Amino acid sequence: MSNESLIRRDLAVVWHPCTQMKDHETLPLIPIRRGEGVWLEDFEGNRYIDAVSSWWVNIFGHANPRINDRIKTQLDTLEHVILAGFSHEPEVELAERLVAASPDGLSRCFYADNGSAAVEVALKMSFHYWLNRGHGKKTRFINISNSYHGETLGALAVGDVDLYKKTYRPLLLEPITVPGPDCFHREPGVSWEQHTREMFRHMEVALAEHADETCAVILEPLVQCAGGMRMFHPVYLELLREACDRHNVHLIADEIAVGFGRTGTLFACEQAGPDGITPDFLCLSKGLTAGYLPLSVVLTTDDVYDAFYDDYENLTAFLHSHSYTGNPLACAAALATLDIFESDDVIAANRHKARLLGEAIAPLANHPHVGDVRQHGMIAAVEMVADKSARTPYPWQERRGLRVYRHALTRESLLRPLGNVVYFMPPYVITDDQIRHLARVAAEGIDIATST
């Protein structure tokens, strides 16, 4: 097998995700033969540092021996079994450990098999909870601007990124969309916390007006990843938890991307206030299996669980399922992931790496075409702008980020910008030297992308 022959075969039969396939007439598809640690390697021995963690899923590197071993052992024991009416050890142990590791009060795990499906579960469960409790008028959801929750119709509906959503609008539920706390839009001299607090007033107004018809508020805590790695201060979560309680509305925390250590704590919700907050629903996927196998889970409370628990004839059960719910191989990968978090003190080790990443990209703030450099833990972003003082974006048609991507490939790096936003979301096994290399490559790429 060679790069060329695999590309030819691929383009003859495959339709790739999130891709205008015509781009591949000029933009080479990159065939990957093997992965090891942060490295991806093609058939000719070219290597790339996976700075985007293969779409934000890989946290402990490719072909991690400890995760591999756990999956291999599980493979010889039980590959899959129906989870309705049946149980198996990996899914039970995983649920026990997730309940123990997640914010206090989350006591039940409902499994699904990808992030979007977890969001669908949380939306349906919240609506159904209120219905079972005699509040059938609650049928709507509140979301914040620039949010992203997945691509299936329910998840797409509660997102707010036009690029993915606009086309399908005639098919979608209509959420109540509130201007969010995105700190990119703060006035000069205003702190993240001030701006975040200020923007919360929109949420308070929406809740006061719509609580009677609203099941839940859904948001991505701290970082809106698909929305361009836009960030806000944790005080928003604290204010939101209090307001949702006061207005009798659920809070759905979509930690599919930010969970598992990305923002500096195991879950982003931990950073709110002195003791963190507990959402009514916590959606997890991506890092859950360290990027090995599709699995997602929605954690919820006794209160929610109890609202469904009744005699069958009353038809209050949550009759939702996916074929691969609680797959044992995926659960085994997740258990190995949690083992690594515990034995390697990953959160503490990441503090050093996050600081180094921040220092390495800080000089880019002075670049004439960089409007913002921002970071929450192991997610950092550099936003290119046409005009620095006004923070005017480059027209999207110019595809400046793609120029950074192309340059990075020539420098052994997989940086895949979101529009004008160059970001770093590397596996936690990245070394200090590799972090510095990525920062250099990004700086070169931004120079090239903004030079004409």
Ligand X SMILES: *Cc1c(COP(=O)(O)O)cnc(C)c1O
Q: Are 420 and 401 in contact (CB under 8 A)?
A: yes
Q: Is 369 annotated as a binding residue?
A: no
Query: Looking at 219-227, 301-309, 327-335, 443-451, which segment touches ligand X (CB under 6 A)?
Result: 219-227
Map the footprint of ligand X across residues 79-138, applying CB under 6 A.
Answer: 114-116, 119
Given the complex with ligand X, which of 258 and 307 has the nearer CB atom?
258
Name the minimum Å distance from CB 57 to ligand X: 8
Q: Is 133 annotated as a binding residue?
A: no
Give how many residues touch ligand X by CB under 6 A.
14
Given the complex with ligand X, which of 54 and 107 has the nearer CB atom?
54
Q: Is 311 annotated as a binding residue?
A: no
Q: Build a one-symbol-per-residue string for 247-286: x at contacts with ligand X by CB under 6 A, - elsewhere.
A: -------x-xx---------------------------x-
Size of the chain in residues: 452
Q: Is 180 annotated as a binding residue?
A: no
Q: Is 116 annotated as a binding residue?
A: yes
Name the minimum Å distance from CB 212 to ligand X: 27
Q: Are 263 and 230 in contact (CB under 8 A)?
A: no
220 binds ligand X (CB under 6 A): yes
The 3-state secondary structure of 27-64, one letter per residue: CCCCCCCEEEECEEECCCCCEEEECCHHHHCCCCCECC
Map the footprint of ligand X across residues 226-245, applying CB under 6 A.
Answer: 226
143 binds ligand X (CB under 6 A): no
How far is the C-alpha of 202 from the C-alpha of 178, rounded, in Å? Answer: 6
Map the footprint of ligand X across residues 188-217, applying CB under 6 A.
Answer: none
Strand 281-284 to strand 296-300: parallel, antiparallel, or no bridges (unpaired)? antiparallel
Name the minimum Å distance from CB 225 to ligand X: 5
The backbone torsions φ and ψ at residue 192, rounded to the nearest 5 degrees and listed phi first, read -55, -45
Three-state SS at 342: helix
Given the complex with ligand X, which of 39 and 423 has the nearer CB atom?
423
Q: Are 184 and 217 in contact (CB under 8 A)?
A: no
H or E element that contains 251: strand 250-254
Q: Is 285 annotated as a binding residue?
A: no
Q: How far is residue 337 from each of residues 34, 52, 132, 188, 253, measured CA to CA in Å?
A: 21, 18, 36, 41, 21
Name the minimum Å distance from CB 395 to ligand X: 26
Given the complex with ligand X, which of 116 and 143 has the nearer CB atom?
116
381 binds ligand X (CB under 6 A): no
* Residue 192, token pair as written in the block: 């993240």
Alpha-helix runs per DSSP H in 176-257: 192-210, 235-247
Residues that bind ligand X (CB under 6 A): 114-116, 119, 148-150, 220, 225-226, 254, 256-257, 285
**Binding residue ranges for substrate:** 55, 148, 286, 321, 416
